[in-house]
Structure 1
Amino acid sequence: MERTDSDTAADAARTPVTDATSTGRLAAAGFAYGAADEERRRAVRRMKTLATGMLLAVALVYVLAKWAGSAGAGGWTGFVAAAAEAGMVGALADWFAVTALFKRPMGLPIPHTAIIPTKKDQLGQSLGDFVGENFLSGEVVRRRLHSVGVGRRLGGWLAEPKNADRVTAEVSTALRGALTVLRDSDVQAVVGEAITRRADAQEIAPGLGGLLERIVAEGGHTRVVDLVVARAHDWLVEHGDSVMTAVSGGAPGWTPRFVDRKVGDRVYKELLRFVTEMRDMPEHPARGAIDRFLRDFADDLQSDPDTRARVERLKAEVLGRSEVQDLIASAWGSVRGMIVAAAEDERSELRLRVRAALLSLGRRLAAEERLQGKVDGWLENAAVYVVTTYQSEITALITDTVAGWDAEHTSKKIEAHIGRDLQFIRINGTVVGALAGLTIYAVSQAFGG
């Protein structure tokens, strides 16, 4: 019985690989023979046995037919011998063709044999070129994505609540993972530097002046004035003795004490009356004075160089204080904690809003063709950019991977996958050859050959 490379693969399967170097080489090449490969090799051996058995069967038939013909059994033996002879030729020819894919038949250096081991690198290069030309061209990718309609399908998928919940959970997990990986010290340093640099680069006085001007024009400051005046009135009512004592204590030592008390009482009453009138009279002159002061100050903040310079110096002093820098840096820790807690809580406002946004996006994508076109265009442009920019790297991955495979094990692996079908070629060759031989012999006999 002839022996092909699939026999060698079968022997290798029956012999356990114990050498660490061989095992490592197989793993590095990406070839790890598992239970599925063992089953494939058993199927290949069964089909090989069947194909070889048919070759032996037609050879035996040929010998018997020739013997019967020489013994005078009749003309039918010629037909049988011709069919058997052609069947042997077909079987041997297909055995040669199948064997030549994986090894040199009978070890002979016949040209164009052992195609897979000797042409492995060329096959890898051809495969890479084929993929690059037929799958990684910009036009092919754009046409394929356009026909799929990713935007419409994505919208329909996201519009399902269970899918929106799934995406929300995945986004939350990814967000928690990213925040966990980031080091607080690094982020705090970046945030602090960014805030400080932004504040240093931008003058704040004109902005503050414009804001104050709008607040005064809209009367927003009156609530603050009302609050201050009301609190001042309450404080004076509660601490009248303290005010009178302070006024009396500031009087000269030579004045009589009853005079000091009279003066203190008078000052307290006048101060209380003034504050009470400010509280109860929206048109009080002091309120108007406050309005004029705030308007003038807002104008100075926007146009007066000295005022603006003072604000900038004050800003620099405030930002330069260590307490402020520590506050800026520690803000990240608080923000991170809130985000992580919200991401973990399924009922948090953050996750509910993300889920609602996904559902809304899904419904819009499913219904609005204009939005679908935008999404499809973005995806197509992104995919085309990737395949056209990195086409050579992607195809090089294929060619380099194939080039790194061991030639012998490549042949064994491929034969384990397609060897069973190749044995059918041998069986078909035997049957078709026998039928062709029988037909040719019958035609030749019919025309007096």
Structure 2
Amino acid sequence: MARTPTALLSPADQERRRALRTMKGVALGALIGMAVVFVVAFAFQNEVEWLQYVRAAAEGGMVGALADWFAVTALFRHPLGLPIPHTAIIPRRKDEIGAQLGEFVETNFLEGDVVRTKLESTPLSARAGAWLAQPAHADRVAAEGATVASSILRALSDDDVQGLIEDLAREHLLSPDWGPSVGGWLERVVESGAHHGAVDLALDNIATWLGNNREQFQGLVSRRLPSWVPGLALRLVDDTVYREAVGFVDAVRADPGHPARDTIDGYLARLADNLQHDPGTMMRLEEAKAAVFDSPRVRRLAAEAWNTAKAGLLTALADPNSSLRRRASSALAEIGVRLGRDETLQKRVDGWITDAAVFLVGRYRHDIASIITDTVERWDAEETTEKIELMVGRDLQYIRLNGTIVGALAGLVIFTVAHLVFG
């Protein structure tokens, strides 16, 4: 079987390979030692009677060593390259072993009661809270979350996002009729008098504009009068119109019961009623709404808003000192402190985690266990054999060594008993 070059192995596997070679050398040395002792004892047993016992022990040791060498080797390859039946078990039954291992894990570990018992005995939220309460750990979680969020934002297609925003806007803004809802809202505003503040604000702005733009009234009316009217009369007309406008606005501002305010209230009340019941008014509102949302300029503004928001988020996520990152770290640390102190919250969170884990295990246990089966099936037979041999091969060499010792003791006992019985 071809061996993986040492340079391609992990440091742990390289250490396992060195330990395996050492133990193979020890087991082989024990076999060779028994063979040497057997030869010497066999050659001189007639001259030295007690060497018969040594020969029997060495003979049993060699038999035990060879038998265990055959058994251990048969797990991984054909002994001496001979296709002996029931040898090279692991490479020949690799897929079956993987399936059985996956079934074993699924049956004995991925079981709802096992998972629940283990999780209920582990204070998950308390440990997580104590860990998260440390600022360094909160910063780390915030940094990892920022990295994930940045990756998601970069992966998103701007066109797709804008299309999604447009679809959502059409579904939730354009498709529903605005008339009844806007009319009902306006009706409640008028009934409660909440619009009076808006009216006062509008009057204040009008008064300010009139005070700052008197020249705008020059010729406003006079240019429409006949040319034979004297200039003094024209200026008088314009001044009169301006003073009347200023006086009217001031009067309305000063008198909460002014007829103009009642007129505004009446108009808003009629508008609210028409928006709810008049088809013509509702149609005009829908047409205005469609004209606004279908405007190319509005679409460009939406695209620019998304691009600006995306760029701002990416900048804030990338900067450890940004307010977003600092607030995220602070919030995570506060969550950690609360998790570490609030036993009620701990029980609630532990319950959520346990229920979620049991649900996932119950529904996907076979899929989870199939990872083992599928992974082993993808492995090359020789690679699988080498992996398993590196993991357990060193311990199996102890079996060879123990077989040598036990075989020697068994041979000595058998020979001794036979000698005592038969002479």
Q: Which residue of 2 aligns with 1:208?
A: 182
Q: Which of 56, 59, 68 is matched with 2:35 structurally?
A: 59
Q: Say whether residues 1:309 and 2:288 are aligned partners.
A: no
Q: Say whether residues 1:289 and 2:299 are aligned partners.
A: no
1:166-315 maps to which residues of 2 (within 5 A)? Answer: 166-240=140-214, 242-243=216-217, 245-315=219-289
Q: Say whether residues 1:433 and 2:395 are aligned partners.
A: no
Q: Which residue of 2 aligns with 1:368?
A: 342
Q: Partner amino acid for 2:332?
A: L
Distance 1:188 1:43, change over 3 A: same
Distance 1:212 1:359, change over 3 A: farther
- Inter-partner Cα distance in structure 2 for 1:39 and 1:355: 42
Can you list the C-alpha shifts for 1:261-298, whole angstroms capped at 9, x where unaligned? 44444333333222222233333332232233223323
Q: Which residue of 2 aligns with 1:398?
A: 372
Q: Partner amino acid for 1:268?
A: Y
Q: Partner amino acid for 2:97?
A: L
Q: Which residue of 2 aligns with 1:138?
A: 112
Q: Which of 89, 93, 101 is matched with 1:119 structurally?
A: 93
What is the CA distance between 1:34 and its match in structure 2? Answer: 5.6
Q: Which residue of 2 aligns with 1:69?
A: 45
What is the CA distance between 1:434 and its match in structure 2? Answer: 1.9
Distance 1:118 1:240, change over 3 A: closer
Q: Which residue of 2 aligns with 1:45?
A: 21
- Inter-partner Cα distance in structure 2 for 1:407 and 1:129: 20
- Inter-partner Cα distance in structure 1 for 2:44 and 2:201: 128
Q: Partner amino acid for 1:123?
A: I
- Inter-partner Cα distance in structure 2 for 1:34 and 1:158: 33
- Inter-partner Cα distance in structure 2 for 1:140 and 1:240: 86
Paired residues of 1:83 and 1:438 also in contact (CA < 8 A):
yes
Count matched residues. Answer: 423
Paired residues of 1:191 and 1:332 also in contact (CA < 8 A):
no
- Inter-partner Cα distance in structure 2 for 1:198 and 1:334: 23
Paired residues of 1:192 and 1:329 also in contact (CA < 8 A):
no
What is the CA distance between 1:37 and its match in structure 2? Answer: 4.5
1:13-32 maps to which residues of 2 (within 5 A)? Answer: 32=8
Paired residues of 1:191 and 1:329 also in contact (CA < 8 A):
no
Q: Which residue of 1 aligns with 2:73?
A: 99
Q: Partner amino acid for 1:402?
A: V
Q: Which residue of 2 aligns with 1:27?
A: none
Distance 1:352 1:297, change over 3 A: farther
What is the CA distance between 1:191 and its match in structure 2? Answer: 0.9
Q: Which of 113, 117, 123 is matched with 1:149 structurally?
A: 123
What is the CA distance between 1:339 and its match in structure 2? Answer: 1.9
For structure 2, list consecutive stretches of 5 or more residues without a partner in the other structure. none
- Inter-partner Cα distance in structure 1 for 2:243 and 2:386: 109
For structure 1, list consecutive stretches of 5 or more residues without a partner in the other structure. 1-7, 18-30
Can you list the C-alpha shifts for 1:307-336, whole angstroms capped at 9, x where unaligned? 223212221222222222222332211221
Distance 1:99 1:345, change over 3 A: closer
TM-score by length of 2: 0.87
- Inter-partner Cα distance in structure 2 for 1:302 and 1:207: 8
The SS at the match of 2:45 is: helix
Q: Partner amino acid for 1:266?
A: T
The SS at the match of 1:167 is: helix
- Inter-partner Cα distance in structure 1 for 2:382 and 2:297: 70
Can you list the C-alpha shifts for 1:352-371, whole angstroms capped at 9, x where unaligned? 33233323332333333443
Can you list the C-alpha shifts for 1:61-92, whole angstroms capped at 9, x where unaligned? 23332333312x24x22332222222222222
What is the CA distance between 1:242 and its match in structure 2? Answer: 4.3
Q: Which residue of 2 aligns with 1:358?
A: 332
TM-score by length of 1: 0.82
Q: Partner amino acid for 1:154?
A: A
Distance 1:109 1:227, change over 3 A: closer
Paired residues of 1:138 and 1:384 also in contact (CA < 8 A):
yes
Aligned-pair identity in percent equals 47
What is the CA distance between 1:440 and its match in structure 2? Answer: 4.0
The SS at the match of 1:202 is: coil
Q: Partner amino acid for 2:150?
A: R
Can you list the C-alpha shifts for 1:360-419, whole angstroms capped at 9, x where unaligned? 332333333443344334333433443344434333332233233333343344334433
Distance 1:375 1:219, change over 3 A: same
What's the RMSD between the two structures over aligned residues?
A: 3.0
Distance 1:56 1:235, change over 3 A: closer
Distance 1:445 1:163, change over 3 A: same
